[in-house]
């Protein structure tokens, strides 16, 4: 009776093997899940980096503003363009409602940091606009 029966030993080894297979499967699913989370995090990081580059480039921001203002509709309406350090100021006079709507739509659809917008109604149909952009 002091000897261990070989079937018990074989059963024990089978149980250990099954337990190892089960643990291996659990660990593999965790690894796959973690790899997917890492890939998503990497994509998010790249997207954030691209957005930072897009929003924090003063030369590109000024170029986007100047591109909008250089359109024929706005070119004659621009009274003043001034850049001081990290602030770009523009002033437009005598804009009609349609021109104002078009200007605001163009500028708001660009990735720009608008610091201040001041609109003054001159007459029934004309508006003056003063804008400050953070570069």
pLDDT at 39: 96
Q: Is 126 exposed, middle or buried (0-12, 13-18, 19+ CB in 10 A)?
A: middle
pTM of the predicted model as reported, rounded to 2 decimal places:
0.61
Task: Note whether 129 and 100 are within 8 A (CB).
Answer: yes
| Helix and strand numbers, DSSP H then E, in the chain | 4, 4
Distance CA 44, CA 38 (A): 10
Mean pLDDT by 10 residues, the chain (135 residues): 82 94 96 96 94 82 86 85 88 87 87 87 85 87
Residue 68: CB atoms within 10 Å: 19
Which residues on adjacent β-strands are paired with residue 128?
120
């Amino acid at each position: 009776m002091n000897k261990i029966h070989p079937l018990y030993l074989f059963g024990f080894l089978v149980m250990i093997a099954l337990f190892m297979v089960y643990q291996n499967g659990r660990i593999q699913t965790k690894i796959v899940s973690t790899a997917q989370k890492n890939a998503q995090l990497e994509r998010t990081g790249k997207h954030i980096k691209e957005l930072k580059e897009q929003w924090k480039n003063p030369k590109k921001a000024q170029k986007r503003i100047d591109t909008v203002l250089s359109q024929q509709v706005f070119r004659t309406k621009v009274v003043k363009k001034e850049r001081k350090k990290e602030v770009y100021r523009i002033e437009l006079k005598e804009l009609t409602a349609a021109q104002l709507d078009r200007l605001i739509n163009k500028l708001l659809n660009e990735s720009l940091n608008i610091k201040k917008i001041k609109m003054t109604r001159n007459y029934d149909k004309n508006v003056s606009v003063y804008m400050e952009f953070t570069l």
